[in-house]
Structure 1
Amino acid sequence: MKRDDAEILREVQKNTEMAMKAIDTISDKVYDDDLALQLSKQSLKYSEIHNRAMDKILEGKAEPYRTNNISQMMLVGGIHTNTMFNTSTSHIAELMIQGSNRGITDMCKALNHHERAENISLEIAKELMDFEEKNIERLKKYL
């Protein structure tokens, strides 16, 4: 597997792991049943995309993304801080939209820095970005 393909797939793994962790952390603070269902569906799709990226990395005998515990702790701490005094549906939707925007930005950077990546890694990355954009549109109704 080419280095650029592996880097793109690792970025997909990182992005989806962060998204799943964020949803897992914020889920117990969601009191709107529709939003809770939306977040559960998102988590399931993130898991599917993550697994596709992992399968391709393992097929190519490349090194998978290793979770950074400090980043995970910062994410969880940031969510708890941001929801300490405000757990409104609107605020939670806003936080999730910000996370999706950050994910899109990180994927754009990865794609720009790894121009030699080929079809399958690009396809998975673009699927993730499209999914993030759809999530933003779906979450806007909760603002």
Structure 2
Amino acid sequence: MTNDIEMLNCVLQNAEMGCQGITSVRKSLKDSKVDGVLCEHLIKYGKLYHCANKMLQNRGAEPHRVSNMTKTMTRYAAQRDLKRDSSSSHIAEMMIKGNTMGVNKMSRKIRDYDGNDPHVSLLAKRMLETEEENIKEMSAFL
């Protein structure tokens, strides 16, 4: 089962990975429309990250951020993938894959959540909805 702290850390890590993924591909983007949408996603992730971090601090809990190794591996994989194909449609596909991983992770955590804080539950659902919205928005660029 997942408690409040674990759920908040899951939201925090999902938002952090979303920011990491977007940052890793933005330098290679040539399409300003895709870049604009990704900038909006970056802002949404930043807000979710900030909320989760603040809620963890208010509970006296230490945020569990994504490890530097995971960030490095993600950045390396993105750069390797972009060398093969840096088209906007491929970048959209990469983002959709990342969002899908986020949807799967959040869905499992929400299903296993046994906390009773409506604010935590709402934030987790907002994270899930954000990932799903991002998939729809990126699908337009495939």
TM > 0.5 fold call: yes
TM-score (normalised: structure 1): 0.94
Letter in 1 for 2:81: N
Residue pair 2:18, 2:98 contacting (<8 A) in 1 also: yes
Alignment of 1:33-44 (within 5 A): 33-44=32-43
Identity percentage of aligned residues: 26
Alignment of 1:1-143 (within 5 A): 4-143=3-142
Q: SS of the residue aligned with 1:65? A: coil
Q: SS of the residue aligned with 1:25? A: helix
Stretches of structure 2 lacking an aligned partner (at least 5 in a row): none
Measure the CA separation in 2 of the matches of 1:117 and 1:99: 29
Measure the CA separation in 2 of the matches of 1:76 and 1:82: 10
Stretches of structure 1 lacking an aligned partner (at least 5 in a row): none
Letter in 2 for 1:116: G
Q: SS of the residue aligned with 1:142? A: coil
Measure the CA separation in 2 of the matches of 1:117 and 1:25: 36
> What's the CA shift for 1:117?
4.6
Letter in 2 for 1:124: L
CA RMSD of aligned residues (A): 1.2
Per the alignment, do residues 39 and 17 of structure 1 end up closer, same or farther by CA in structure 2, a change over 3 Å counting? same
TM-score (normalised: structure 2): 0.94
Letter in 2 for 1:78: A
Residue pair 1:8, 1:117 contacting (<8 A) in 2 also: no
